[in-house]
């Protein structure tokens, strides 16, 4: 079975509290575009990520709001912003012991935990059964092309809220030479 | 045998003609720091790479001067600079059919061919014999760690001017979570 690959650009998730601090209590997080994972969307809101002497503009806020705020950036971004301590490579939601980053809208800023996302495979219960995969298992997926790569230690995440897709960040996508719609092959 | 891995940051090589255009006829390309490959060095000269509406500063000129000028950047850089046409993934020196980029020093600029370097393994004749590798062969090398990867289709380049090292760009290094001195394992 071919595994669809999706590249996640840098983005942030916000808690209700942080959202209201940045955008005010009357503002709403509106859907700009639905993402592949059911219920997830790119919102109409953007922020700036503030580093030591540089910033990254136009960073998308993804929705819906979550229990905890979290920024997900690439290692390239972390070097560019000179983040110190350097953010950890973590699965989404594991925010213990990572670094914080300043997130800014207009003249208001909040500090939120920042991670470099560990590569992971989203998978529904049915897809997991077909592929004989279990939640939290680690698999390898190979991507063909001029920059052929095999990604190992991919965390499998099974839920009926999910749909089959390998999520990589932009460094990983670029290392594999991926541009546009691409599929990988499960190696195990 | 462990394979040393080296990450090449964006850089340029210049011909004598382009060097003199950018820096003048009396200026010299001086050694700032020797690189691992014998005779190759980071020079004391830097330039700017000019994109559509953004630029990248402090890009190192490597020495010695070469027959042909060439910029080597990452896919991340190419997206950042919005290069159009997009540079090709090529082995160093293969400059047919790729894009040109504006390189600037103070108020002088020249256009030079720009590639995204294809990953490659430098290797002396003796090391090649030990590892049973041949020039132009393609091999796979695996890198351990939290972002474990296997790089395939690595071009082997054998010469007595070379010393054993897998050369990756910053996207590839970041995708493998490499920071500092790292070794890979030849998988073949």
Contact A150 B146 (CB under 8 A): no
Which position has the token pair 């639905």? A34
Residues of A in contact with B86 (CB under 8 A): 179
Q: Which long-range contacts (CB under 8 A, 24 or more apart) does B128-136 make?
A: B128/B156, B128/B158, B130/B1, B131/B1, B131/B186, B133/B158, B134/B158, B135/B159
Tell me the domain boundaries of chain B. 10-117, 120-186
**Contact residues, chain A, for B170 at CB < 8 Å:** 76
Cα of first residue to Cα of last residue in chain B, in angstroms, is 13
The C-alpha angle A91, A84, A171, rounded to 5 degrees, equals 50
Please return the burial class of B106, using the count of CB atoms within 10 Å of its CB with bins 0-12, 13-18 and 19+. exposed
Residue A188 reports pLDDT greater than 80 = no
**Coil, strand or helix: which one is B23?**
helix
Task: Return the residue of B nearest to A142 by Cα.
Answer: B150
HSE-up of residue B85 (Cα within 13 Å, Cβ side): 11
pLDDT band at A140 (very low <50, low <70, confident <90, very high): very high
Mind telling me how many Å the CA of A38 is from chain B's nearest CA?
Answer: 27
The beta-carbon neighbor of B150 closest among A86, A152, A170 is: A152
Tens-level pLDDT at each residue, chain B (188 residues): 799 999 999 999 999 999 999 999 999 999 999 999 999 999 999 999 999 999 999 999 999 999 999 999 999 999 999 999 999 999 988 988 889 999 999 999 999 999 999 999 999 999 999 999 999 999 999 999 999 999 999 999 999 999 999 999 999 999 999 988 899 999 96
Mean pLDDT over the full length of chain A: 96
Chain Cα centroid distance, residue B168: 8
Of the candidates B89, B149, B174, which has its C-beta nearest A150's C-beta? B149
Residue B97 has a pLDDT of 87
Contacts A–B by Cβ distance under 8 A:
67
- What does the DSSP 8-state code read for residue A170? H
* Residues of chain B contacting residue A146, judged by C-beta atoms under 8 Å apart: 89, 118, 153
Contact B76 A170 (CB under 8 A): yes
Closest-CA distance, B110 to chain A, in angstroms, reads: 26
Cβ-based neighbour number of residue B78 at 10 Å: 22
- Among B91, B151, B175, which would you mutate to test the A interface (most chain A Cβ atoms within 10 Å of its Cβ)? B175
Per the CB < 8 A criterion, the answer to whether A62 and A13 are in contact is yes
- Which of B89, B142, B146 is opposite residue A147, by nearest beta carbon? B89
In which residue are the tokens 């650009």 written? Answer: A9
pLDDT of residue B180: 84
Min Cα–Cα distance to chain B from A145, Å: 9
Mean pLDDT along residues A16-29? 97
Distance of CA A140 to the CA centre of its chain: 19
Which of B166, B171, B177, B185 to probe the A interface (max A CBs under 10 A)? B171
User: In angstroms, how far is the first alpha carbon of chain A from the final one?
Assistant: 13
Question: Pairing relation of β-strands A11-15 and A70-72?
Answer: antiparallel
Give pLDDT, residue A92.
87
- pLDDT, residue B12, reads 98
pTM: 0.95
Residues of B in contact with A142 (CB under 8 A): 152
Other beta carbons within 10 Å of A153: 16
Kindly state the DSSP code that residue B168 receives in the 8-state scheme: E
- Looking at beta carbons, which residues of chain A come within 8 Å of B176? 175
């Amino acid at each position: 079975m071919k595994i669809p690959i999706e590249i996640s650009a840098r983005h942030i998730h916000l808690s209700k509290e942080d959202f209201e601090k940045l955008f005010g209590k009357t503002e709403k997080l509106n859907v700009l575009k639905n993402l592949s994972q059911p219920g997830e969307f790119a919102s109409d809101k953007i922020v700036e990520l503030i580093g030591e002497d540089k910033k990254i503009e136009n960073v998308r806020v993804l929705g819906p709001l979550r229990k905890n705020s979290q920024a997900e950036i690439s290692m390239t971004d972390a070097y560019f912003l000179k983040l110190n301590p350097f953010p950890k490579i973590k699965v989404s939601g594991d925010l213990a012991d990572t670094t914080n980053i300043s997130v800014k809208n207009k003249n208001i800023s909040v500090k939120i935990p920042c991670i470099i996302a560990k590569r992971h495979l989203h998978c529904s219960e049915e897809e997991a059964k077909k592929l004989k995969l279990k939640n939290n298992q680690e698999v390898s997926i190979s991507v063909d092309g001029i920059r052929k790569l095999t990604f190992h230690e991919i965390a499998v995440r099974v839920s009926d809220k999910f749909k089959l897709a390998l999520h990589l960040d932009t460094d990983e996508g670029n290392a594999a030479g991926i541009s546009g719609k691409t599929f990988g092959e499960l190696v195990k």
